[in-house]
Structure 1
Amino acid sequence: MKQSDIDDPLAMGGVRGWKLPLIPTKLSPPRGAAQPVERARLDARRSEILDTSLTLVIAPAGYGKTTLLAQWRAGLQAAGTAVAWVSLAEEDNSPHRLLSYIAAAFSAECPHLCDGTSEMLCAGPMVPVQAAEAVLLTELQVSERELVLVLDDYHCLGGPGVQLLMGHFLHNLPANVHLVLSSRTEPALNLTRLKVNRQLLRIGVEDIKFDLGDLGLFVRNSLNLVPSSSLLRDLHDVSEGWIAGVQLATLSPRFKSEPQLYLKEFSSKSKDLHAYLAEMVLDLLPGELETVLLRCAILDRFSAELCEVVAGVPDGKALLVELIKVNPFISALDEQGEWYRFHRLFLEFLRERLELAPTEDVMSLHRVACDWFSARSLWAEAVQHALACGENEKARDFIERCALDMLGRSRTGKLLSWGRRLPEDMLRKKPELRLAIAHAQVLMMDLRGASTMLEGLAESQADLGAGDEGFAVQQQIIRGLIFALDDHFDAALAQVLPVVERLRGLNITDREMLLNTLTLVYLYQGRFDQIDAVQSWQMPDPGMHFGVAYRHLLEGLGWMWRGRLDKAEYIFNKARQYSEQYAGRRSMVTIACIICVADLYYERNQLEEAEELLTSVHTVPLDLGISGIIQSGYRTMSRINQINGAKTEAWVLLDEMEAVAFKRRWPRLEANCRAQRIQSEVWSGDLSAARSELARLSCLSGHEQLDPVALRLIEDETLISRARICCVTGLNAELIENLGRRVADLEAVGVHYLGARMRMLLALLHWRAGERVAATQALLPVLALGKAQGLCRIFIDEVRHMPEALVGICNELSRVDASFKSYLDSLLAEAGAFRLPPAGQEGTAGGSRTTEEGGCGLSDLELLSSSEITEREKEILTQVANGLYNKEVARVLGISEGTVKWHLKNLYSKLSVSSRTQALKKGKLLGLIY
């Protein structure tokens, strides 16, 4: 055989001489089909091809179907599996030609495999295709070798003869042969039998699109650019993982120079994007379909009936079937297939083209949509279209109708945005709407703005309707919540208690606001029986409302403060599950639940789990949360950093916490911030700095107009901070007396968790005074609680600077009550597992040397170690920077959670850090992430 014959796949196995001319390049993947990134989760599914008869890869243009199949082909071939390939086109839409290409593809991969089929097909088109197919199937089965046939761009085939041939071929496929089809549309094949027999593998858009990890690898590999986590999120939001969209977006030099600004303009200003969508999608559709798509582009979502009205088609269901068949970037929003939407970039592309239409025509489409949505009480969408066509009065009326639902779903930002688009004089005539906006402002923690809005309502009695008692009740409830969130608990109760008797007559939003206000106030007043009573009130038709999650969250805090961490954890997780389902994972109530669970993990000394949770939410502005949640989040994260030897990071977090306290004018939050700094300075041995912070903390007790409960909480922080300093400096009899009295007060009302913290300090003060019996007696009740609930940090945090005291106390307690010995031994083990660096120095784990310019210096050893970091480790670090948990990182990368932890451990070692936070900081410093 000549060398030219070897190079020509059609010459292999006696294929040369076929009368039907075939194109050799169609028997292998096209140029440019190299995989831009290694995607482990998809590569792992390659082996599933050999377990099924048919694999379908279905997605619109530009999702990388061919690229994926080329990667699979290479992997299968490397493992010894023969993979025949055919790149299809419209000219292949005949049974004889298609079968010729299939036989040629197998012959090119396995010489002489299809000699019999070749001879039959060479005889010309007079040979029955069915006979040639039968010979082909026999030859494939006789080979007994695992064979894979890839038919790329199967959507190009539409003739009935071809579909009949492929249906018969698939039905009689030998067990050793596996068919893989890629298509933009659903193939016209009967697949029911394959589904029932589990012989069908389906890969769709959700499987094949880029996730954040894929995006990071693509940008790094293709552009030699290390993207920030925020840039990756923006790129993912714009592209929705559409690979061609990502490639087009990153082609421009502006992506490197001003990426965020460029991405905001990309969908509307990219000529390359518009040309691609026009050429690869719109121009391939029938003219009437293009018109329909442009009309439907005014809609964020559409149904069959809505398409009939807006697009002017007689049969909306038939239209959707046809649209789904050609698959122009349409996806279902529900399992029933009632509602659909366009891909974001495709929708923007259609809307750009729609702008070329006469303005009045577009306005009329919005009016039709507005009337359709309003007739079905879909008020939020009716608002959008009313505003779009300039019907402001309609929009105002619709906003009133859906305001409660928007509030219940925590869609406060959208509600405020609508309010800003309406003229002020129009709002003035609608007090109920202004009240809803005030409510939204409260939920966005704009307490001053909400108070101003309520004052304006009170001044406009003519607008309110003087005899509307229900309206006045709503104002009372909002004012009560404002007072409670602003740490004025007595004032809050004065507002809402008179309303309790009307509870059953309130709408769900006002009812949940009232119940949450009561629960929050009772929590800080230590009235836990009242919290239980509020939770037990049976409400008719509770409905779905994000306020329910907040109420459960506050209930969980009540149990934690009582020292019942087991029950608190159950309720926190219950609240989190509810909030994620109804308000979303990134909602403030969900984040609050995560912070509370992390706080609980910290107390149990599950530091890695606590840090993982807190790292995932730290990118969200926590100043939108309630004071106590903000306090827990910053405090716990700061302590974890301090424990890991990263005092700089710890103090940065406390600076952020203090900034929120100043912004919100919350003295209690500022007090906790200063108390955390005092503890940090005591741990570090800098008592002078600790005393200076204590002086500032003491001044906060004289803050004007402090609520008695808020004042008491600030005094508690001061008392605890004084005790921490005195545990080092010496005995203070008055302090011991005050501390003992406060412990008794707390335990009398059931605040056992804070009481236990104070008892630990009381025991240390007695021990330092040589009063061993008093020390052990002070600590015995805490040990009973700690043993039952797994308390840990409550003990070892207070002896971090003096572990010998804990050793002495534990030895004494073991003699007093031997039942605590194993628990005490575990505390000693935890306390001995770490040591602080000398005062004024950072720990080696995560500690960094600050340069004169305020940056961080890196040694040659650190730079050398970081150069050894693998691509997989960079991948995982990027995912962690994006706020993903270990389980989510594992799912995204297609590896096990244990593998993620193993890589993180290696990464920490190479970066000389001991925590996620430190790894992220060092990774940014080294340019591994941004």
Structure 2
Amino acid sequence: MPTGPPSASSKFRAPEPVGQWVHRARLTEMLHSDRKRRLALIHAPAGFGKSTLAAQWMESLASQGLVTVWLSLDRDDNNTIWFLSHLLQAIRKARPGLEEELQQLLEERPDDAEQYVVPALINAIDEGGEDIVITLDDWHLVTEPRTRAVVERLLDAGGSHLSFIITSRTRSGLPLGRLMVRDQLLEVDAVALRFDENESQDFLVGINRLDLDAGDVASLHRTTEGWIAALQLVSLSLRDHREASELIERLSGRHASIGEYLAENVLDTLDPETLDFLLTTSVPERLCAGLASALSGVELGQAMLEKIQAQDLFLQPLDEDGTWYRYHHLFEDYLRRRLERDYPGRTKELNLIAARWYSENGFPSDAVDHALAAGDVELAVEIVEFRAMWLVEHSSMSTLLALVGKIPADHVAGQARLQTAIAWAHTLLHQSAAAQSALDRAEAVMPADATLTEHDRFELGVEGLVVQSCIDMYGDRVNHVDELDEKCFAQADLLRPWIVSVAANVSTFKKIHDGDYPLALEQQRWAAKFHGLTSGPFSGVYGQCFAGLAAYALLDLDSVDQHFTAAVELGRRKAGRYSHAARLAGAMMGQLLYERGELDKAEKLLEETRELGSEGGVVDFMLSTYGTLARIKALRGDTPRAREILDEGDLVADSLGLDRLKLVMNLERVQLGISPRTIDAEPHNAVLGAAVAQEAADTTGPRLEGLAEARHQIQLATQLRSAMADAEHEGPASPRPLATVEGARRLLSRAAAYLGPRAELNARILLAAALEQAGNREEAETTLWPALETCCRLGLVRPVLDGGSGCLDLVRATSARLRREPGPEVRSHELPRFLSILIRLDSQAKTNRDARWSAEAVSPPTGAGTTVPEPGLSQREQMILRLVEKERSNREIAQELHLGINTVKWYLKSLFNTLGVSDRRACVIEARRRHLLPPK
């Protein structure tokens, strides 16, 4: 799925010569002599042949076997996402092996996409091993600092295989000073671009076959000062002029207005039909036959374009097959002024024609530009509104918001349909505040929106409820879902499939967290028809993932595998390998693979999902992304990395207000023992004492509503794990184990009653570990046995292995007992073999951790000028500390480490707290004092 508005292929092709080119040998030689420069900048005012020279250079470089890429810029490229999208498309046309999935990332990470795409692009070019030269034509049209920063980063960090040719009317927006110091800059300015007398002779006499003597050529060269556009106009004027010397004499001294003078003389010699065609087709920046016919009323638009081109009337083809054209900028400007002078008011009419043509032919950005140029804001709104939900369904949320950004805000505010689409876009980008604001505006203006029919109001009312429910779901709430049964599902056939599809997913989410797993699966079976009718993969992927979650809760692993596999395949097939949808499905599949012990595959998928950051789906997806990935890193012996991942999970939880995610990150820390256990609850003994009292009354207690039950059980598990860890440190005399056992019984009771077989399995394993710690080996083995049988049958190794040291002691004891006296309860050799696998995997994990610790212990002593990491300072914090010392800004640190800027701020806050300082300068001073940085 392409990112950004559709683009004519002409953006990606160098201009073709009209007739012959003057061979610029002296300038081409300059390029070849400085081939290894990172940037060749060609800058001059209009009409000096910048694009033509760049095209000649590209042709020459391609003949030497280099990969050449052309991108013609326009004002839409000020949108950084669109610029990057166009750049990737251009590169992929020249080198098809470039991964298409980078495109999708642009739509799904609009706030910091370049942090991921630019490094990936640089790496892909380096790994390809081929030299690539990228031409950016008309750079002066790009004024957005963020887009300029992307090109600056490519120029600074692009590596030896990447270089640029840039044409521009100015020198601004490029890191010229740094490039000059590094001897990586080649500049060609207006003085160098002017034709010398020999080139003027070649152009006027050799190519245009004008009957001029050496004196005439010299006079024209002096008069035009080698200005190429003026010489081209001269050649047209002299073509049918009998007295060349007389015209040349009249031109003498008129250099300031020579362009208009000659254009006037050229146009006055044309027949009325040709002149009218030129004037009416000058309004858009590029032309094709259909658009030209619509503007001019000439049926044979292609034939007319070819006639204009044959007459050398400054019409340049933009592609090889002659589909798209543009006028030379100077000639175009003059034609537009002439149109306004001769036909006042006609420009508005032509802009409206162009707007409608572009809209009907799939170019919404151009359509909006022309509608606004005509002053018809309502038409611009209509164009965006017509395209809006198609963009949402295809995960092109950033493109939609960029199109909306072109329209004055006061004209957008009163449009209920458009505000609803904007709310969808922000919701799917996890921008809840902006989504809520747009949704509230849609509901407020709906009664006064005269464009709406009664059915429109009904549908928008239901759609608004679905958007609100979706906002709540991403916030880990299920506040409005019950209303969907009556208002949406009962009238599903009257609604667009997208509305019903998403509503079914939200309803399924609630049923999962109410413990109604069979109903959740039934909901998804019913919704399959609506998922299939949506045009994009997004809601279908969510539906498969939610069905998989419900099946997981029931431990129906065959169904889980089917649903998660279908989700991954759907996301990749419809949106790409690294699309948002595919990565979300990857989080779920990664969890399944992890529990089966396939750590390498799981790690790869979870790392890919982790790149989504705060846009990583609902909380259930994030639990896998951060919690499971941290476990894998810990198993690798990389505790600092595990801590770092859990810290990132905390950051996301804090920024989005996701309490359940925060609680699980804390539980993972306790289980992995990688940071102080800070429990946001009562002291352990008091809590466990309450649990004992409740258990003594032999009551499970009522189920807490919705997600509150899951949160409660997470908190209880955290308290139990923390108490068990404390008891392990305190030794056999600790009074904690008995209280822990009673708390674990309570957790098992609630898990079995309210959260289903999977939660019961985990709670059973925890209770067995607590019983073992309390010295009750016989009951511990009896308690663990059903869990072992279940895990053996399903091929799940991690639930038992993650149960802790006490659980593994039980596994070894059970394995040894079965070898001595296999009882009648062991119906095959599968369980003993499974226990052997668990023991072997645990030993391997310990070996990996020991090997890493041993390597760190025997690492060479630090020498002069090196720093000694302080205990508690992660590797990432050390890297950021060194960049702070170099006075890098937060954004520069984010760019260098490929982090979001908010993540950098979080790490800085952590650094300041660790060092007891409040600003950057004090941070560096204190770090030096503690020998975390070398002395100044």
State the TM-score bracket (shorter-chain normalisation).
0.5 to 0.7
Residue 782 (1) aligns with residue 787 (2): yes
- 1:679-710 deviations in Å (ceiling 9; x for gaps): 222xx5x7xx2265776999999xxxx98322
From 848, 851, 858, the equivalent of 2:869 is 851
Change (3 A) 1:376 1:67: closer
Cα distance, 1:450 vs structure 2: 2.8
Change (3 A) 1:510 1:311: same
Query: Residue 245 of structure 1: SS of its match in structure 2?
Result: strand
Change (3 A) 1:797 1:417: same
Q: Which residue of 2 aligns with 1:690?
A: 677
Residue 564 (1) aligns with residue 569 (2): no
Change (3 A) 1:208 1:663: closer
Query: Residue 645 of structure 1: SS of its match in structure 2?
Result: coil
Query: Residue 786 of structure 1: SS of its match in structure 2?
Result: helix
Change (3 A) 1:388 1:672: farther
- 1:569-620 deviations in Å (ceiling 9; x for gaps): 3322322332334445554322211222222222222222222223334443
Residue 638 (1) aligns with residue 630 (2): yes
Q: Distance in 2 between matches of 1:70 and 1:796?
A: 56
Aligned ranges for residues 665-684 of structure 1 at < 5 Å? 665-681=657-673
- Which one-letter code corresponds to 2:801 in the other structure? I
Cα distance, 1:507 vs structure 2: 0.7
Q: Distance in 1 between matches of 2:307 and 2:69?
A: 15
- 1:848-885 deviations in Å (ceiling 9; x for gaps): 985369696999xxxxxxxxxxxxxxxxxx9x999xxx
Q: Distance in 2 between matches of 1:840 and 1:236?
A: 29
Q: Distance in 1 between matches of 2:497 and 2:136?
A: 47
Cα distance, 1:393 vs structure 2: 0.6
Q: Distance in 1 between matches of 2:500 and 2:510?
A: 16
Q: Which residue of 1 aligns with 2:371?
A: 386
Answer whether contact 1:481 1:492 (CA < 8 A) is retained: no
Q: Distance in 2 between matches of 1:662 and 1:639?
A: 21
Q: Distance in 2 between matches of 1:297 and 1:846?
A: 73
- Which one-letter code corresponds to 2:653 in the other structure? A
- 1:264-285 deviations in Å (ceiling 9; x for gaps): 9967567769999999xx999x
Change (3 A) 1:601 1:33: farther
Change (3 A) 1:314 1:652: same
Residue 595 (1) aligns with residue 606 (2): no
Gaps of 5+ in 2: 1-28, 38-53, 71-89, 100-113, 140-144, 156-164, 172-186, 196-227, 237-273, 309-314, 341-345, 689-702, 729-735, 879-894, 900-936
Query: Residue 515 of structure 1: SS of its match in structure 2?
Result: helix
Cα distance, 1:461 vs structure 2: 6.5
From 529, 533, 536, the equivalent of 2:518 is 529
Q: Which residue of 2 aligns with 1:492?
A: 481
Residue 544 (1) aligns with residue 532 (2): no
Q: Which residue of 1 aligns with 2:469?
A: 480
Cα distance, 1:655 vs structure 2: 1.8
Answer whether contact 2:502 2:539 (CA < 8 A) is retained: yes
Cα distance, 1:843 vs structure 2: 7.3
- What RMSD over aligned residues (CA atoms) do the two structures have, in Å? 5.9
- 1:771-819 deviations in Å (ceiling 9; x for gaps): 3332233223323332233212212122268744442243346645253
Q: Which residue of 2 aligns with 1:126?
A: none
Q: Distance in 1 between matches of 2:385 and 2:404?
A: 10
Q: Distance in 1 between matches of 2:512 and 2:447?
A: 39
Q: Which residue of 1 aligns with 2:201?
A: none
Cα distance, 1:826 vs structure 2: 1.0
Aligned ranges for residues 402-481 of structure 1 at < 5 Å? 402-460=387-445, 462-463=447-448, 468-481=457-470
Query: Residue 482 of structure 2: SS of its match in structure 1?
Result: helix
From 617, 620, 625, the equivalent of 2:612 is 620
Q: Which residue of 2 aligns with 1:716?
A: 713
Query: Residue 481 of structure 2: SS of its match in structure 1?
Result: helix
Q: Distance in 1 between matches of 2:672 and 2:854?
A: 12
Q: Distance in 1 between matches of 2:30 and 2:459?
A: 71
Cα distance, 1:677 vs structure 2: 1.6
Count of aligned pairs between the two proteins: 649
Q: Distance in 1 between matches of 2:801 and 2:681?
A: 22
Answer whether contact 1:763 1:776 (CA < 8 A) is retained: yes
Cα distance, 1:443 vs structure 2: 1.7
Answer whether contact 2:653 2:661 (CA < 8 A) is retained: yes
Answer whether contact 1:635 1:654 (CA < 8 A) is retained: yes
Answer whether contact 1:439 1:478 (CA < 8 A) is retained: yes
Answer whether contact 2:122 2:154 (CA < 8 A) is retained: yes
Gaps of 5+ in 1: 1-28, 38-58, 73-181, 185-203, 214-226, 860-877, 883-930
Aligned ranges for residues 684-833 of structure 1 at < 5 Å? 689-690=676-677, 708-728=705-725, 729=727, 732-747=737-752, 751-799=756-804, 803-812=808-817, 815-816=822-823, 817=826, 818-833=829-844
Q: Distance in 2 between matches of 1:658 and 1:699?
A: 27
Change (3 A) 1:439 1:725: same
Cα distance, 1:389 vs structure 2: 4.7
Q: Distance in 2 between matches of 1:588 and 1:650?
A: 24
Change (3 A) 1:630 1:71: closer
Change (3 A) 1:532 1:820: same
Query: Residue 489 of structure 1: SS of its match in structure 2?
Result: coil
Q: Which residue of 1 aligns with 2:601?
A: 609
Answer whether contact 1:697 1:718 (CA < 8 A) is retained: no
- Which one-letter code corresponds to 1:710 in the other structure? L
Answer whether contact 1:799 1:805 (CA < 8 A) is retained: no
Cα distance, 1:394 vs structure 2: 0.3
Answer whether contact 2:578 2:608 (CA < 8 A) is retained: no
- Which one-letter code corresponds to 2:586 in the other structure? I
Q: Distance in 1 between matches of 2:606 and 2:330?
A: 41
Change (3 A) 1:772 1:395: same
Cα distance, 1:510 vs structure 2: 1.3
Query: Residue 445 of structure 1: SS of its match in structure 2?
Result: coil
Query: Residue 708 of structure 1: SS of its match in structure 2?
Result: coil
- 1:411-432 deviations in Å (ceiling 9; x for gaps): 2222233334433442343222
Answer whether contact 1:370 1:382 (CA < 8 A) is retained: yes
Change (3 A) 1:373 1:802: same
Q: Distance in 1 between matches of 2:302 and 2:125?
A: 29
Q: Distance in 2 between matches of 1:248 and 1:397?
A: 32
Aligned ranges for residues 36-55 of structure 1 at < 5 Å? none
Answer whether contact 1:404 1:509 (CA < 8 A) is retained: no
Cα distance, 1:551 vs structure 2: 1.4
Change (3 A) 1:268 1:303: same
Q: Which residue of 2 aligns with 1:368?
A: 353
Cα distance, 1:341 vs structure 2: 8.6
Answer whether contact 1:645 1:842 (CA < 8 A) is retained: no
Cα distance, 1:486 vs structure 2: 2.4
> TM-score scaled to structure 2, two decimals?
0.57
Q: Distance in 1 between matches of 2:515 and 2:564?
A: 19
Q: Distance in 2 between matches of 1:699 and 1:452?
A: 44
Query: Residue 555 of structure 2: SS of its match in structure 1?
Result: coil
Answer whether contact 1:638 1:649 (CA < 8 A) is retained: yes
Cα distance, 1:469 vs structure 2: 3.6
Query: Residue 845 of structure 2: SS of its match in structure 1?
Result: coil
Q: Distance in 2 between matches of 1:841 and 1:209?
A: 44
Change (3 A) 1:645 1:319: farther
Cα distance, 1:502 vs structure 2: 1.1
Cα distance, 1:820 vs structure 2: 0.2
Answer whether contact 2:368 2:383 (CA < 8 A) is retained: yes
